[in-house]
Amino acid sequence: MKKKILYEHPLNERMRSLLRLEYLLTSIMYHLKGPAEWDSRAVIEHLIEGLELITRIDIKALIKDLENHTQTLERWQRTPEVDTQRLSQLLNQTRQLLTELENIEEQLNEYITQHQLFNLVRQRMTIAGGSCRCDLPSYHYWLQKSPKQRQSQINEWLVPLQPLRDAVELDLYLIRNNVSVSQEIASNGFFQSKLEPNVSYHIIQVYMPQEHFCYPEISGGKQRFTIRFFEQPLPQEQPRQIEQDVSFELRCCVVA
């Protein structure tokens, strides 16, 4: 099977924040495995960005999403020929996360304000190159510890974030897997569609073959969305909208 590239567009600001947080957390977990000083720098900087973003995320809305997912999963349990074992796992995970998220805001606020290394680096991140060794000797000192020491400490720092990370991951997983899928054609590189007014759409996805010569730019809101396809033969050139028809796979993700 040929590899495809996934493009996503959130249809509300809360979903945009969740996708950004997912990106930062994924980067953290990737760089956490690396032994180099630059891996630890990437972890700390993305962790600080993630903490800033968390302060703007509506935790209550995330909890409401998980409650809605719980009701949907319970309904699916009564559907014939479903994977009851997988449904039970998802239900147990969702219920456990709802319990863990009850006091998460207070815990995170205390965690953010009391961590001196994060606060020190965060103050310098607004300055280009502000976290270099000549500006932050204490940070440079910590970065010279052995990879095992740094990774162990970072893992400890990530523990308070684990329930939120799991909740975001589960919420997006369930949204992305509750989709309507269709094969579409963008006439002259342009596609527009209305959204059903009584359906809670959250994410628009476009799948394209990896070797395709163009890419989509998606825009939209509650009522409709638009997809324009662009080509950019060389990175230094200005992208231009193509003038031929483009076939693509469209997925509209909802909260049931």
Q: Which residues contact 54 (CB under 8 A, 6 or more apart)?
A: 21, 108, 112, 161, 164
Nearest to 8 by CA among 205, 162, 226: 205
C-alpha distance from residue 196 to each of 97, 176, 199, 223 (Å): 31, 18, 6, 7
The pLDDT assigned to 75 comes to 86
Say if residues 170 and 66 touch (Cβ distance below 8 Å).
Answer: yes
The pLDDT assigned to 107 comes to 76
Using the Cα atoms of residue 229, residue 234, residue 238 and residue 243 in order, give the sign of their dihedral: negative
The residues with which 248 forms a beta bridge, in sequence order, are 184
pLDDT tens for 48-61 read 899 888 888 888 88
The pLDDT assigned to 1 comes to 60
The pLDDT assigned to 130 comes to 85
Helix axes 13-32, 37-54, angle to 10 degrees: 160
The pLDDT assigned to 81 comes to 77
Homologous superfamily of domain range 180-254: YacF-like domains (2.60.440.10)
Q: What is the pTM of this model?
A: 0.89
Question: What are the residue ranges in the chain where pLDDT is below 50?
Answer: none
Residue type, 99: T
Say if residues 241 and 43 touch (Cβ distance below 8 Å).
Answer: no
pLDDT tens for 186-236 read 999 999 999 988 888 999 999 999 888 899 999 998 889 999 999 998 888
CA–CA dist 182, 194 (Å, integer): 14
- Tell me, yes or no, if the two domains 13-172 and 180-254 fold the same way: no
Residue type, 142: W
Where exactly are the structural domains of the chain?
Answer: 13-172, 180-254
Q: Which residues contact 9 (CB under 8 A, 6 or more apart)?
A: 203, 204, 205, 218, 219, 220, 225
Homologous superfamily of domain range 13-172: YacF-like (1.10.3900.10)
Phi, psi of 245 (to 5 degrees): -70, 145
